Structure 1
Amino acid sequence: MSGFADELTDLVRALAKEADPVPDGQLSALWSNVRELGLTGIGIPEDKGGSGGELDDLLVVIRELARAGVDTPIVEAATAAFAIGAADADGRFDTVVTHDELDLSGPSLSGDLGVVAFAPLARRAVVIGVAGLAVFELADADIEAVVDIAGRPSGRVRLTDSPCTHADVHADAAAERLVLARSAALIGGCWGAYDMTRRYVVERHQFGAPLVEISAVTGNLAHMAVGIRTAEAALRRAVKVAQGGGNSALRRLSAAATARIAAAQCATAVARTAHQLHGAVGITTEYGLHRFTRSLWAQRDADRSELSWCGRLGAAALAVDEETFWDQLSA
């Protein structure tokens, strides 16, 4: 880490204090500040149009925005900027989508990409496949505007011979960056839900005592915290592997997949436990818990699902010899 983690944390938390709740289908006004400060370009060298710094500095920003309950396109925009450079300075940004079946090698694309986060507002979309990467202008696509479970403006995107270009960045590198960024957002959202739940059970009294004095409540809080710390450890290892030289493609894949799986599992458990401990108040619109849990559900299932990553990790394990498999388990 570059040493700016504390400064970035303080910056994002200060910005988040000014953020107001956002109606479904709209972007937070804070997003323009995030872009103007160059936060989406962290982890990209300045000579390539980025803001400098390191990958884990970017993950700090992503984590803290999610922890504050501010849902922005930073995961998508930062990944797209890594793959193809920053969007033009017109207030727009680029988004990303993963798709394992489209042929991304030609000069055009045709097919249904499904629901793409922030598609109605973005300029371009980066399609990340198993072995390829393609970029197209969203103006060349048929977009049916929808709002996803988190309330984010999204769109069902269909392509018919839409012109596309190809970036120099390898698809595996872009996919790895997306996985790490998504995992950081999930961890931040988990911390946000945990913080809110902990405050509630400390302040809420039942039978003359705070809820936190009930052993079952305390135990559930502890399970939440342990799960988040476990996901954090997996993400730290994945970042270390990604930034370390000489690591094999298998090691990078297994580290990134493990981080994504741990973060997804944690998101499911934290969202469920947070609502259980809040009781009925936790499902009301007026109470802010849904800002965290809806985002956790949306991002948990974004890109490739937890099940898909488990399948890829298992297939990679089956494809290697016993000695290599043991090295992966014990490294």
Structure 2
Amino acid sequence: MINTQGMVAETATKIYTDLCARDVPHEAEAGQYPQALWDALTENGLPLAWVSEANGGFGADHDEVFGAIWASAQAASPVPFAETLIANWMLDRAGLSPADGSASFALSGHTPSADIPFGMHADKIVLFDEAHHEISLFDNRVAVRSPEESLSPDGMTQFIFSGHLAEQSAKTDLSRRGIEALILTVRAVQMAAAMESALGLSIDYVTQREQFGRPLSKFQAIQQQLAVAASECAAATMAATQAASAIARHSDDPEQAWHEAVVAKVQIGHSVEAVTVPFHQVHGAMGYTQEYDLHHYTRRLWAWRDALGNEHLWSKRLGEALAVTSPDDIWKGVTTGQWVAS
């Protein structure tokens, strides 16, 4: 479930409404970081929402935090809110103190480096080292940072872990699949929310814009394009909701939510092309301008679609997992959400 009515979500929504007006994402991309927005989020303790009370957070329910993440994506928020939530959740699960300031995350790979979302702004980087079952915290402010090519307005930098001494590290019982499940679900929620906002922009535009003496919304071709896009948005929201509900049910062992998270990743990944094309088409030339708001959503959608790998990679991984699962266990997983680890 994605609870947009709970206290955490409502607090986040109010902050984004007050401090993330449409000019903020534009200014952030021009180099003016919205520090007031980040300060308001931290003053209300929202980056610590998934941190246990014993560790200085307030252990909020997952569905409420997903509601806050939904609000951030709808506002095209240019601060690492979701990334800090994930990073602090990883630290908390390893019994480590939450990050002092903003944070982003990385999963260990075949090289001693990783592309970090919000790498130019995050104060800390949290690394999951699968080989040693460790979670470590690094100070990103002392690293040499250079921006990488990125579709997302949020930017990307490469962090070289070799040669950097971790500020703290600890063993963890989290599996890579468990962390993947949370990250993929967070991205799914963000993508579904961004789609809804972009759909709203498109409907508003075709309702107000006239051609040949009548609103664009009266043309059957436009109606057809937006009807198809709206159905894809609904499917994306349902997939994200199912994944978020699975994470909430299996909060102690998020690996059990891996299948639902991957299904959401694949479904929404396929939906991205199906919605971004008509959104830009119905806007015409306006949709391709830097000054208009649409690209703040569509560029993030393209970037989030590729985060941790695109839908084709995850379709293959899901197929490989199901191929070694018995038909009875597949049916049980589909009907009850209780998947047997493979």
- TM-score, normalised via structure 2 length: 0.83
Matched residue count:
319
Whether 2:44 is the aligned partner of 1:37: answer yes
Q: 1:270-318 deviations in whole A, cap 9, x for unaligned? A: 2222101111111111222111111111222123332222122111101
Cα offset, 1:129, TM superposition: 5.8
3-state SS in 2 of match to 1:43:
coil
CA–CA distance in structure 2, aligned partners of residues 304 and 133 of structure 1: 22
Q: Secondary structure at the match of 2:157?
A: strand
Q: Which residue of 1 aligns with 2:120?
A: 120
Report the Cα distance in structure 1 between the residues aligned to 2:255 and 2:38, rounded to whole angstroms.
36
- Could you tell me which residue of structure 2 aligns to residue 46 of structure 1? 53
Partner in structure 2 of residue 135 of structure 1: 136
Q: Does 1:93 align with 2:102?
A: yes
Q: CA deviation at 1:208?
A: 1.4
**Could you say what the CA RMSD is over the residues aligned between the two structures, in angstroms?**
2.7
Separation in 1, partners of 2:214, 2:64: 42
**Number of the residue aligned with 2:301:** 296
Corresponding position: 1:57 with 2:28: no
Q: Partners in 2 of 1:184 and 1:268 — Cα distance?
A: 17
Residue aligning to 2:314:
309
Aligned partner of residue 97 in structure 1, secondary structure = strand
Secondary structure class of the residue paired with 1:120:
coil
State the shift of 1:260 in Å.
Answer: 1.8
Matched-pair contact (CA < 8 Å) for 2:119–2:155: yes
Which of 4, 9, 34 is the aligned partner of 2:7?
4
Alpha-carbon distance in 1 for matches of 2:202, 2:195:
10
How far, CA to CA, are the matches of 1:189 and 1:133 in structure 2? 33
Displacement, 1:77? 0.7
Cα distance change, pair 319–326 in 1 and its aligned pair in 2 (3 A): same
Task: Report the equivalent of 1:80.
Answer: 87
Closer/same/farther in 2, CA of residues 31 and 5 from structure 1, 3 Å limit: closer
Conservation of the 8 A alpha-carbon contact between 1:27 and 1:153: no
Matched, 1:271 2:276: yes
Distance 2:188 2:211 in 1: 36
Q: 3-state DSSP class of the match of 1:127?
A: strand
1:100 Cα deviation after fit: 3.7
- What 5-or-longer segments of structure 1 have no aligned partner? 103-110
Q: Tell me: CA distance 1:140–1:225, structure 2 relative to 1, closer, same or farther (3 Å).
A: same
User: Would you say the 8 A contact 2:48–2:57 is kept in 1?
Assistant: yes
Task: Tell me which residue corresponds to 1:285.
Answer: 290
Pair 1:180-2:185 in alignment: yes
Q: Match of 1:149, SS?
A: coil
Cα distance, 1:257 vs. partner? 0.7
Contact 1:46 1:52 in 2 (8 A): yes
Q: CA distance change for structure 1 residues 127 and 73 in 2, over 3 Å: closer, same or farther?
A: same
- Tell whether the 8 Å contact from 1:144 to 1:156 is kept in structure 2 after alignment: yes
TM-score, length-scaled by structure 1: 0.85
> Are the structure 2 counterparts of residues 19 and 168 from structure 1 closer, same or farther at C-alpha, using a change threshold of 3 Å?
farther
Alpha-carbon distance, 1:184 to partner:
1.3
Distance 2:293 2:274 in 1: 18
52-61 vs 237-246, which moves further: 237-246
Q: Contact 1:136 / 1:162 at 8 angstroms: preserved in 2?
A: no
Within 5 Å, give how 1:147-186 maps onto structure 2. Answer: 148-164=150-166, 165-168=169-172, 170-171=174-175, 172-186=177-191
